[in-house]
Structure 1
């Protein structure tokens, strides 16, 4: 992705395109699996951990990334589809966590099925996590 494309994607989500934000967006764009704050920090060392955390939180608030609780103890972050924004954030897809390499993948072609709740139950969020072995580790 070019610097201009990175900047435009940030502006589309009402995010000021600072150098660090563009670097983080570019990194997320090149990553096939969701990434934890620790992994991002390791990749950007000696960058400030708080700056990276704030960048991810702004991205999440503005609908650029979504967080995933894969049971590893730390949330992971993945880029959202282009249609997500501040007002409409849709990450209703299956997430796959590999027990061998500990990577978590968004399986966006597989939607979470509709959940029919009992009367007066109010659904706020649905997450579906599949645990197993990814194609790379199975090979």
Structure 2
């Protein structure tokens, strides 16, 4: 597992430090997105600035993406291996109004936005809200 995590970092030109390896391991174990405060709870003894810088490095190198789901806390999730975080790579996110978890719906792409002339698309954030299958039970 650690070799896989280390190779994932190297494939994105990220130096595999101990903290980066640990953060990537936690991110890869998530079933839904995770916020910085949730991640801080998992690394109580770690320096918060280091944790934040690790996430920023991951995001800048297209290893993770951030999601503003309207909850007031930015969430993070691993990108798929072939993702370059271009608008055409983006997918819909689902926010459960009951458990407050946000899920990547990787198989549902964000619809193509046909902007008027002279407008330039830089990012798209599409969040669908409802009740997840776990909360529906």
TM range (shorter): over 0.9
Distance 1:96 1:43 in 2: 24
Q: What's 1:137 paired with?
A: 135
Q: What's 2:95 paired with?
A: 97
Q: How far 1:125 moved relative to its partner?
A: 1.4
Moved over 3 A (4+): none
In the TM superposition, what are the counterparts of 1:1-139 in structure 2 within 5 Å? Answer: 2-84=1-83, 88-90=84-86, 91-139=89-137
User: Where does structure 1 lack aligned partners over 5 or more consecutive residues?
Assistant: none
Task: Please provide the CA RMSD for this pair.
Answer: 1.1
Q: How far 1:68 moved relative to its partner?
A: 0.3
Distance 1:129 1:116 in 2: 19
User: Where does structure 2 lack aligned partners over 5 or more consecutive residues?
Assistant: none
